[in-house]
Amino acid sequence: MHLDMGGQIGKDPWFITGISILLLLGFLAVAGPFLVPYDPYDISFSPLDPPSADHWLGTNDGGMDILSELVFSLRNTVIFGITAGTAGLVLGVITGLFSAWAGGWADQVVMRLADVVLALPSVMVLILLAAFFQPSPVVLALALACLAWPTTARGVRAQALTLKNSLHIKAAQRMGGSGRYIIARHLMPELFPLYLINFAAKTRMAVFMEASLAFLGLFDPGEKSLGLMINYALQYYYLDIWYNWLMPPILLLSLLIMGATFVTVSLEKIFDPRLRKTV
């Protein structure tokens, strides 16, 4: 089942749309700070100005340029998402592969642990963490990863178990291949599609989670984040700021999550042929 990945992905409109959105937002996040006109922490402008030639999206209650703030918030949110996504993926892959390869009681221990973690409501845990320890966003992202790995681990384990019994891996074992060799040479690369899907899904989840936590005011108020921006904007909802202050972060957040969702769906569809007809 060797797939012509490039060809199939390139033709999928879901993927093209999703990846275009993500690339655009990614470009904004990476290059944004050099493009925006003002320092987002600069409070020297008059507060709550409507959009003008100087401030395309106007200014907020603290007299900061909303456009600059938006770009910086996007950057922070993306960093949070990627950190949590990567950490969660790495944790999940390691535990999943270990569990599948070791088998026996080690497998049981890891999988029961995964069940326990899955049973925890992650939003509640994060709220408690954020409220009690007021950790930096990176620590929070890692904490999120610690809660998010079980789904990845389960997927990786299931795939690895199937693969472990496939003939070419049995052949490699019979040739004298060690567990380390087979994991590194056969299992890890073979599961690559799974990593992509899981990474996209986890990142999406993290972005959403970050926005939620910030919206709930559980973030350092001095930070910049899309969720925080929505939180602040909502405090002035009785003013006419919905289109220049409230909507842009909501739009960006939605785009970000949409892009990640499109890519995830498209990858799942391509790498799991059974989904192709139903989606």
Partner 1 sequence: MTIQIKDLTIYYQDLDHALLALDRLDLALHPGKITALVGESGSGKTTLGKAVMGLLPKNARAEGSISLGRTQIMGLDEPGMNQVRWSQIAMVFQNGAASLNPVHNLADQVAEPLVQKGIGRTKAMAAARDLLARMGIDAEQAARYPHELSGGQIQRGLLAMSLILDPQVLILDEPTAALDAMTKVFITRVIQDLRRAGKTILLITHDLDLARNLADDIAVLYLGRIMEHLPGTDLVDRPCHPYTLALVRAFPFMDGMRELGGIRGDAFFRMVHAHAQEDGRTHAHVHVAAPDAVHQGGHAPPQGCLFQPRCTQAVLDCSFGDIDVTACGTHQVRCIRGGIARILSFEKVAKSFGKVKALAPTDLTLMAGEVFCLVGETGSGKSTLAAIAAGAVIPDQGRRIFQDRDMDTWMKTDFASLAPKIGMIYQNPAESVSHRLTVFDIVAEPLHIQQQEGDPEKIRARVLAALADVRLSTAPEFLKRYPHELNMGAVQRVCIARALVHAPDLLIADEPTSALDPSVQAKVLKMLLSLQIEKGLTMLFVTHDIGLARKVADRIGVMANGTIMETGAAARIVNHPEQACTKMLINSARGQDTRSPGIHP
User: Which of these segments, 133-141, 163-171, 206-214, 219-227, binds partner 1 (CB under 8 A)?
Assistant: 163-171
| Binds partner 1 by CB under 8 A, chosen from 157, 186, 204, 224 | 186
Angle at 155 between CA 150 and CA 157, to 5 degrees: 90
Range in contact with partner 1 (rule: CB under 8 A) among 49-57, 99-107, 160-168, 241-249: 160-168
The verdict on 8 binding partner 1 (CB under 8 A) reads no
Binding track over 111-150 against partner 1, x by CB under 8 A: ----------------------------------------
Q: Which of 115, 116, 138, 170 binds partner 1 (CB under 8 A)?
A: 170
Span near partner 1 by CB under 8 A; candidates 17-25, 116-124, 127-135, 173-181: 173-181
Reduced to 3 states (helix: H, G, I; strand: E, B; else coil), residue 120 is: coil
For the purposes of burial, counting CB atoms within 10 Å of the CB of 173, is it exposed (0-12), middle (13-18) or buried (19 or more)? middle
CB environment 197-234: b (16+ within 10 A), e (fewer): bbbbbbbbbbbbbbbebbbeebbeeeebbbbbbbbbbe
Q: Are 204 and 258 in contact (CB under 8 A)?
A: no
Contacting partner 1 within 192-251 (CB under 8 A): none
Number of residues that bind partner 1 (CB under 8 A): 18
CA nearest to 93, candidates 139, 142, 158, 138: 158
Binding residues for partner 1 (CB under 8 A): 1-2, 166-177, 181, 186, 189-190
